[in-house]
Amino acid sequence: MPNKGKAARPSEKLFPDANGNLFEKSYQEQIEAERAQPVECLGMTFENDDARRDYFLDKLREMLQDPEFRRIEGFPIGEDEDILALSDPPYYTACPNPFLTDFINHYGRSYVPEEPYLREPFAVDVSEGKTDQLYKAHAYHTKVPHLAIVPSILHYTEPGDIVLDGFCGSGMTGVAAQWCGAAPSEYRRKLEDEWKKAGLGQPKWGARKVILNDLSPAATFIAANYNLPFEVGEFARAARRILDEVEEELGWMYETLHTDGRTKGRIEYTVWSEVFSCPECSGEVVFLEEALDKETKKVKDSFLCPHCGAKLNKNRLERVFETLPDPATDNPLKRVKFRPVLIAYTAIGNRHEKQPDEKDLEVLDRIRQMPLPAEIPTNRFPIEKMYHGSRIAPKGFTHLHHFFLPRAAQALAALWRKVIRYPNARIRHMLLFFVEQASWGSSLLNRYSPTHFSQVNRYLTGVYYVASQHSECSPRYILGGKLSRLSKAFESHYTIRNIAYVSTSTVAALSISGNAIDYIFTDPPFGENIYYADLNFLVESWYRVITNAQPEAIVDKFKKKGLPEYQRLMQRCFEEYCRVLKPGRWMTVVFHNSRNSVWNAIQEAMLAAGFVVADVRTMDKQQGSYRQVTSTAVKQDLVISAYKPNGGLEERFKIEAGTEEGVWDFIRTHLMKLPVFVSKDGRAEVIAERQNYLLYDRMVAFHVQRGVLVPLSAAEFYQGLPQRFAERDGMYFLPEQAAEYDKKRLTVKDVETPEFAPVDEFSAIRWLQRELNSRPQTFQQIHPIFVRALAGWQKHEKPLELSTLLEQNFLRYDGQGEVPSQIHGYLSSNFKELRNLAKDDPDLRAKAKDRWYVPDPNKAGDLEKLRERALLREFEEYRESKQKRLKVFRLEAVRAGFKKAWQERDYSTIIAVAGKIPENILQEDPKLLMWYDQAITRSGTDP
Ligand SMILES: C[S@@+](CC[C@H](N)C(=O)[O-])C[C@H]1O[C@@H](n2cnc3c(N)ncnc32)[C@H](O)[C@@H]1O
């Protein structure tokens, strides 16, 4: 690792970096040495890195001519030469990477079923490391910081293992994989301490190999540059020289006369205001001139028309268009009108502001006469297929070049021209990575934000939005500071060759052999919040290599993709993930919650693809701890841990499918994957996944997703579970896990059970189970407590009387015969006078009479059958109902009905009843969604 000069010993030979700081020799020397030395790549030796690149560029060029290769799903849209110009094969290709299999063959480890591998799920805090300079070196939509990913990679993998992220965006998973080898000692110490405290083992430091993939060339280009080594010093010097040259060439465009009338000032930014017209007198109103309060720097709610004095506000103003010749199309350009209103500049060592004077306007006029530089892309946005098309087209922005004012166009083009001529390909790519970051900030999307000191990158993220006030920044103002920060960040980021391979394609078609990947960390698109392909279009137009949006996993009505299409696309991606992952290995999915229905679509896609979910957690910021997610209603970001079932289980399951043995085999294998003991602040946590009802759900899902009948009813399952597995605190364990749990349980004072309220039949039963388990009660006792606990019954859920809930799920002691053990245990430990009494003692019987209690598993079976009959009767009514839509119903009845119909292969009943219940209920209930999806697929009525 490089060390800052101050910390280095004076006797060592030190090297200056771009900012004059001194570096330990090792870092610089390694790079120098690497450059001069022969290069090993995929088993071949090249004279140097340029020879390596030339060789593989030729290979890629050949492949690009093969129509089959270009037919790979998700192949980006671009000419061969443009794809080649961005690529640095075999490490990075701006198209599907044809060298991934070679990479795996050379550097991966084959799957050996006998090799022991045991890990528990591991949660990550996705907000950790958001201030890190390396993380901030390049922005991308919804980035997950590498420091949040490092602990997961350390937990699930060994040095040299291969990690995959198919939705890699800016490639933070790759940075994390490399960081596992390059982390500084203080970071290592801190993490080791934390792990020790949490009872985790010692992490194995050392870089992991990584395959990064994304559909978008803009994303993979960022990812590649983050993850491939380059010489920071050379990059920094080249970037600075380019900024200087552009300033020299175009400096006159950014000069202004200081208010002293003599001194030349250097413009940092020019503020432009949209021009409107007054609805009363039709006079032109320059918005900022009238609306901006110069003192408070805020836009006033109302202001006066400078012509007729009418009281105006933004909503009353009428848009004014100006018609300009469009240099790139045959049509005139009719665009909203902007006028310069303020110049911020430096002169005599200070920052000043002024209104543009005659000379400034003359300069702007001169620039306007210049031809549009050839480097500026002039392609048309796919407006009709873009979510934000209706925001930009009515203001006159339909083509790329419309977003750049003449001076910004000249400046950005000059930067681009110089960068693409830089001779060394690796440095050239880094320079593009750097300059590209000015493309949004130089465009009319950059808003003027008077209350902020810096006007750099003030565009609204995630949308195309042209505001009424714009800051047109000079190249140095945008990029000068960025260069220092970026160089500094990369100085401490030690990347090595042959570690990261980057590909541009859809996850649904990775060119990777099966069972090859050791761990997947992934942050997929989540529904309809961010339109990646649309947003990346601006930058990709500069590269002339554009995302092929067809396989983009997104909800977007303008691309005719609804939730079902999204789910299907995600399922195909997860199927591919499942294919390439080694059996028994883990996948961590980060999900930024938007809607519950999207969350369910993701879950369903994952399960249908063959994964088994073992843990779902959120980060509780206030408590600084992870919380399990047990309900379907989630508002926070989630971290899902899922595994590909161990090869042995899948193989055995083929023989055991639909038998009782298959059920218990699954449960045994699943229990092996679950955490054994989780504690926080001296309290153990009830691990939801180990509770009987969740084990049952997972078992059912495992069968259903494989098209196999579930051989046990819930009651039979609940009865069989304690016969085969050890029960502790309401959770189930394998024998050796139970021993470990018991040992660790002694180290805490008690077990924390998560609070929840009854909001529907299912949660009400669980709530009553918990309440009665700890204290068998009479109806009179439990009624007020139950009513108080109710926290708003779900609107669609049929209201149920407490008496019905009790009768259908619990038993009441009628005072006859022996007092049931559960009541006996409770009374004898809570009432002194009832201690040591026989079970048929009259006093005990009297006290126990009419108390409701939780049936033991043998009796529960009978009750369950009764309840199921009642539920199925209710379901039958829904099926026969002539009502088009059922407004209120028993969700449990629909679940039971769907399950029965599925077992009987009666898919049409499922589809018919699903059509009667509100769509959002279907999409937000994972169980219903599962039956419904299966029915649709198996009946061949896939819409
Ligand atoms: C949430 S972002 C990932 C951001 C990333 N975690 C980071 O730190 O930069 C999701 C990514 O998925 C990509 N994507 C969407 N559909 C895809 C598909 N079918 N195959 C591969 N990538 C896809 C988008 O281009 C986007 O970059």
Q: Is the CB of 219 under 6 A from ligand 1?
A: yes
526 CA closest ligand 1 atom index: 1
Distance (Å) from CA 591 to ligand 1 centroid: 12
Look at ligand 1, atom 7, and give the residue with the nearest C-alpha: 143
pLDDT tens profile 38-68:
889 999 999 999 999 999 999 999 999 999 9
pLDDT tens profile 805-830:
999 999 999 999 999 999 999 999 99
Q: In this predicted structure, what is the pLDDT of residue 636?
A: 66
Distance (Å) from CA 496 to ligand 1 centroid: 24
pLDDT for 20 beyond 60: no
pLDDT tens profile 462-495:
899 999 999 999 999 999 999 999 999 998 777 7
Q: Calculate mean pLDDT across residues 527-532.
A: 84
Q: Is the CB of 166 under 6 A from ligand 1?
A: yes
- pLDDT greater at residue 115 or residue 57: 57
pLDDT for 169 beyond 50: yes
- pLDDT greater at residue 378 or residue 528: 378
Q: In this predicted structure, what is the pLDDT of residue 626?
A: 56
Distance of CA 186 to the CA centre of its chain: 29
Distance (Å) from CA 759 to ligand 1 centroid: 36
Handedness of CA 805, 806, 808, 810 (dihedral sign): positive
How far is the CA of 155 from the CAs of 172, 194, 365, 624, 629, in angstroms?
17, 13, 61, 20, 21
Q: In this predicted structure, what is the pLDDT of residue 17?
A: 42
CB 217 within 8 A of CB 76: yes
> What is the pLDDT confidence band of residue 631, given thresholds at 50, 70 and 90?
low
CA distance 124 to 126: 6
CA 145, 432, 217: angle at the middle one, nearest 5? Answer: 65
How far is the CA of 490 from the CAs of 208, 377, 496, 607, 672, in angstroms?
19, 30, 13, 39, 41
Omega before residue 90 within 30° of 0, cis? yes
Q: In this predicted structure, what is the pLDDT of residue 19?
A: 42
Q: Which of 143, 167, 547, 561 to mutate to test the pocket of ligand 1 (most atoms within 8 A of CB)?
A: 167
Distance (Å) from CA 524 to ligand 1 centroid: 6
Q: In this predicted structure, what is the pLDDT of residue 795?
A: 86
Q: In this predicted structure, what is the pLDDT of residue 55?
A: 98
pLDDT tens profile 691-727:
998 899 999 989 988 888 889 888 889 889 999 999 9
Q: In this predicted structure, what is the pLDDT of residue 26?
A: 45
pLDDT for 568 beyond 80: yes
Distance (Å) from CA 553 to ligand 1 centroid: 8
- pLDDT greater at residue 498 or residue 739: 739
pLDDT tens profile 674-683:
999 988 778 8
Look at ligand 1, atom 12, and give the residue with the nearest C-alpha: 167
145 CA closest ligand 1 atom index: 8
Q: Is the CB of 510 under 6 A from ligand 1?
A: no
pLDDT tens profile 426-468:
999 999 999 999 999 999 999 999 888 899 999 988 899 999 9
pLDDT tens profile 738-766:
999 999 999 988 888 777 888 899 999 99
CB 612 within 8 A of CB 670: yes
CA distance 681 to 580: 39
Q: Calculate mean pLDDT across residues 158-181.
A: 96
Helical spans, DSSP H, in 287-342: 287-291
| Total-model pTM | 0.85
Instruction: Provide the 3-class DSSP secondary structure of residue 876.
Output: helix
Question: Of the candidates 846, 726, 695, which has an alpha carbon nearest to the alpha carbon of residue 778?
Answer: 846
> What is the pLDDT confidence band of residue 940, given thresholds at 50, 70 and 90?
low
Q: In this predicted structure, what is the pLDDT of residue 860?
A: 76
Distance (Å) from CA 214 to ligand 1 centroid: 6
Look at ligand 1, atom 16, and give the residue with the nearest C-alpha: 552
CA 415, 82, 102: angle at the middle one, nearest 5? Answer: 120
569 CA closest ligand 1 atom index: 19
pLDDT for 597 beyond 50: yes
CA distance 249 to 407: 13
pLDDT for 852 beyond 90: yes
pLDDT tens profile 375-388:
999 999 999 999 88
Q: Is the CB of 226 under 6 A from ligand 1?
A: no
> What is the pLDDT confidence band of residue 131, given thresholds at 50, 70 and 90?
confident
Least confident stretch, 585-599, 620-634, 845-859, 923-937: 620-634
Distance (Å) from CA 552 to ligand 1 centroid: 8
Q: Calculate mean pLDDT across residues 500-521.
A: 96
How crowded is residue 194: how many other Cβ atoms within 10 Å of its Cβ? 11
pLDDT for 5 beyond 50: no
* Average pLDDT of every residue of the chain: 89
pLDDT for 656 beyond 50: yes
Q: In this predicted structure, what is the pLDDT of residue 594?
A: 62
522 CA closest ligand 1 atom index: 6
Q: Is the CB of 573 under 6 A from ligand 1?
A: yes
CA distance 374 to 413: 8
CA distance 831 to 476: 81
172 CA closest ligand 1 atom index: 8
Distance (Å) from CA 649 to ligand 1 centroid: 32
Distance (Å) from CA 165 to ligand 1 centroid: 9
Q: Is the CB of 140 under 6 A from ligand 1?
A: yes
CA distance 829 to 512: 62
Name the percent of the chain lying above pLDDT 90.
65
Question: Of the candidates 461, 552, 543, 521, which has an alpha carbon nearest to the alpha carbon of residue 221?
Answer: 543
Q: In this predicted structure, what is the pLDDT of residue 629?
A: 60
Q: What is the dihedral of CA 386, 391, 394, 398, to 10 degrees?
A: -50
pLDDT for 413 beyond 70: yes
Distance of CA 702 to the CA centre of its chain: 25
pLDDT tens profile 535-550:
999 999 999 999 999 9
Q: In this predicted structure, what is the pLDDT of residue 27?
A: 47
Looking at this protein, which amino acid is placed at residue 386?
Answer: M
Q: In this predicted structure, what is the pLDDT of residue 13?
A: 47
> What is the pLDDT confidence band of residue 16, given thresholds at 50, 70 and 90?
very low
Distance (Å) from CA 801 to ligand 1 centroid: 48
Distance (Å) from CA 522 to ligand 1 centroid: 9
Q: In this predicted structure, what is the pLDDT of residue 536?
A: 97
Q: Is the CB of 525 under 6 A from ligand 1?
A: yes
Q: Is the CB of 129 under 6 A from ligand 1?
A: no
Distance (Å) from CA 816 to ligand 1 centroid: 65
Look at ligand 1, atom 4, and give the residue with the nearest C-alpha: 169
Q: Is the CB of 217 under 6 A from ligand 1?
A: no
Distance (Å) from CA 142 to ligand 1 centroid: 9
> What is the pLDDT confidence band of residue 14, given thresholds at 50, 70 and 90?
very low
What are the contacts of 130-137 at 24+ separation with CB within 8 A? Answer: 133/485, 133/488, 133/489, 134/175, 134/489, 134/490, 134/492, 134/493, 135/172, 136/485, 136/489, 137/226, 137/485, 137/486, 137/489, 137/490
Q: In this predicted structure, what is the pLDDT of residue 565?
A: 93
CA distance 252 to 475: 13
CA distance 302 to 309: 12
Helix (H) or strand (E) holding 859: helix 857-880
How far is the CA of 888 from the CAs of 318, 633, 762, 789, 921, in angstroms?
49, 19, 15, 22, 11
> What is the pLDDT confidence band of residue 15, given thresholds at 50, 70 and 90?
very low
Q: In this predicted structure, what is the pLDDT of residue 863?
A: 83
DSSP state of 379: P
Distance (Å) from CA 213 to ligand 1 centroid: 8
Distance (Å) from CA 169 to ligand 1 centroid: 5
524 CA closest ligand 1 atom index: 10
Q: In this predicted structure, what is the pLDDT of residue 281?
A: 94
pLDDT tens profile 222-249:
999 999 999 999 999 999 999 999 999 9
Q: Which of 144, 214, 556, 568 to mutate to test the pocket of ligand 1 (most atoms within 8 A of CB)?
A: 214
Find which of 88-102, 284-298, 588-602 is predicted with most confidence, using mean pLDDT: 88-102
Q: Is the CB of 163 under 6 A from ligand 1?
A: no
